Structure 1
């Protein structure tokens, strides 16, 4: 049985700290919110039941899940805050940073993010499963965090002077986000260097797709930068490709560097625009294969293309890149991707709270499990630490961007080869004498 279209989220973290929200438009509402008043203990039990019913790991990370229920229901809870704390404590037993409880404020923030009304500093964070370090996945392009110089892989050591050691990701989110025009101080570690940033929170408008025509020796090519897989990403991508086709581009550079992911079905829709046929991704839950998404509709172009990836390309970005690579549709250029191959369902619990639960793993068309491994580029182009720091937003996709310049060179080679094949195929056959 296929997984419902509106349930699946593939992002490096459910919580987008800068956005006071999570990546996950298109939620599956299992019941009406606030339809009845719950006791704190009932909320804890409801969270337990969601995990018992849907969690991807049937061993529950080696826990006797029924014993866990007995343990938590034997406690007394005097208020909802006690229940929230217990729900988070229970989920910690799964040792899964992507399965987490959201109180009403956090859950409402997630819904705000999906509507496009965003405020914050503009970073996506995750928590390392082993070290528990709070780490930047990527800054949102054009956000205060990006403008001030925060980068993927930065480890957040302190927030407004408070150490993040022992802090869970929800605490970090609460401390980083805040009203527009207020400031937050972040102390980060980048390699062996410790740095301090003061970031002013702002209202952030995200357009997932930006595109332009670039002139090259082999003719005009389309450059498309995809920054997130939101609910409107596929529509914007479709419009961009159609416009670029009208302008006569000979090929495409698709840039998903520092794209932390988003909606599973957005990545599948975009893959279909470039793939005439073939598998895109398969999802596997604890009962076995749950769904397999294939190309076959929405196809827009078969022109040569390259895809730019890096360590901030995660989840939905990896689904798209993996599909194009496994189907021999595009050349991947850059560095290894983040390595997040899990799918979450986000749903309401209690009176206004929510839970994100890992319900499946996903695999590329060739059957690759990229979780914690990432996708290797076909052509590796690394940036030095100095190059990364010097590469400003204005320098992206210019001659100051080594990865982009390599992409243009490779794309020109592919366009030339395609032009030569086309010329040979249309040559008239010579009459026999």
Structure 2
């Protein structure tokens, strides 16, 4: 790991696009005003912790031309009768920064965010859906090795009750909330299985690693295409991508499609690590902090494969997705196909405050290897493929259509890859595209 990479890891920097990494604030509070004498027993402690973090790390040293010290004076001069009042005051104080990515999170919001980023949850390990025909909450699949599998749950089992609460009027989110809980505790299900009477089963919750990656070989013409879809850059994303590349390579993939469509981003380090898996050399990303200090992160290991690569993106590919896409595009490692990406070129650091709440602070601006600032602009694909409204609706409402002949982005990717594969094999020009199907993404618990 090079010095630049080490410094980025130690800062716990992330791209805020739906997933983050946690770092304790670790700051000392500075008492500079008589009104601060009673801080220790008031919500002002949280207010000042948050103010100090913004004051120390925010990327714009002018704080969007606001008097940040006066903001602190005003915050600490107020009498807060509850933490809720303090939270409201903090959110209001951050608004003049005009930065939606620098934000305060109540403890429940912070817990939800960090749980998403961890790529783990405490539950029983099932994918479930509300069956379209029966309208009953149904097990789609128990995850391999999970508590649900060990307890004997199988695909098709109908979940009638969770801890005595009927599921008939619950949606997926409400059902999931009942199933999840502290590792080591139990949750009871009333199950209806075809051919049997209803029965109860108690399952002990455990920490379950969530998959952010879908991958498989698809036969397109005479070629074997390694299709990899990455949903978010969670803590386990890079190891899951590595495993997918290695497995598909062992299955003799002739080329790869990396699908980042709809991926809102996540951990900065995950995007760097994944870019490194495709690159032998070259710059991955450049960040600039408030002092104007540049940090260049370069590829540091041998790539896992040299096979041709196409990357699929759309307007919802953001943050870490754009870092990875920019690195592969600027280094000539992949052809980018789809529509212009979201356009978020800011880096956040996320901190836990002493009462369990959290604060995300924009700490740097990033640029692609060629120095392009994509903020509010996005990355323009090498090959732009515009979808009709009908096609957008089809793909968004029918996940099984992704990466099939009904998916124009994927179809173009195959055309592009086949050219690269033929060139690599020294074969004559010929294009054939076969139909492929992507498994539906189900809720995991």
Could you say which TM-score interval applies, normalised by the shorter chain? 0.7 to 0.9
Partner of 2:419: 413
Equivalent position to 1:338, from 339, 342, 345 = 342
Partner of 1:28: 23
Partner of 1:317: 321
Q: 1:199: Cα distance to partner?
A: 7.2
Assess, with a 3 A threshold, how the Cα gap between structure 1 residues 12 and 405 changes in structure 2: closer, same or farther. Answer: same
Assess, with a 3 A threshold, how the Cα gap between structure 1 residues 24 and 400 changes in structure 2: closer, same or farther. Answer: same
3-state DSSP of counterpart to 1:262: coil
Q: 1:144: Cα distance to partner?
A: 7.5
Q: 1:209: Cα distance to partner?
A: 1.0
Q: Contact conserved, 1:218 with 1:416, CA < 8 A, in 2? A: no
- Moved runs in structure 1, 4+ residues, more than 4 A? 142-145, 179-184, 198-202
Partner of 2:102: 99
Assess, with a 3 A threshold, how the Cα gap between structure 1 residues 98 and 413 changes in structure 2: closer, same or farther. Answer: same
Q: Contact conserved, 2:228 with 2:257, CA < 8 A, in 1? A: yes
User: Tell me, which stretches of 5 or more residues in structure 2 are unaligned?
Assistant: 28-38, 133-164, 181-208, 429-445
Q: Contact conserved, 2:119 with 2:210, CA < 8 A, in 1? A: no
Assess, with a 3 A threshold, how the Cα gap between structure 1 residues 232 and 401 changes in structure 2: closer, same or farther. Answer: same
Partner of 1:425: none
Count of aligned residue pairs for this structure pair: 343
TM-score, structure 1 normalization: 0.73
User: Tell me, which stretches of 5 or more residues in structure 1 are unaligned?
Assistant: 14-22, 120-141, 148-178, 185-197, 423-433
Q: Contact conserved, 1:183 with 1:200, CA < 8 A, in 2? A: no
Q: 1:200: Cα distance to partner?
A: 5.1
Partner of 2:352: 348
CA offsets per residue over residues 10-49 of structure 1, 9 Å max, x none?
1335xxxxxxxxx113x222339xxx96522222122111
Q: Contact conserved, 2:345 with 2:375, CA < 8 A, in 1? A: yes
Q: Contact conserved, 1:45 with 1:69, CA < 8 A, in 2? A: yes
Separation in 1 of the partners of 2:427 and 2:297? 31
Partner of 1:112: 115
Partner of 2:263: 259
- Superposed CA RMSD: 2.9
Note if 1:47 corresponds to 2:50: yes
Q: Contact conserved, 1:144 with 1:199, CA < 8 A, in 2? A: yes
Q: 1:338: Cα distance to partner?
A: 0.6
Q: Contact conserved, 1:8 with 1:346, CA < 8 A, in 2? A: yes
Deviates more, 1:1-10 or 1:281-290: 1-10
Larger radius of gyration: 2
Assess, with a 3 A threshold, how the Cα gap between structure 1 residues 200 and 106 changes in structure 2: closer, same or farther. Answer: closer
CA offsets per residue over residues 251-285 of structure 1, 9 Å max, x none?
11111000011100101111011100000001111
Equivalent position to 1:75, from 75, 78, 90 = 78
TM-score, structure 2 normalization: 0.71
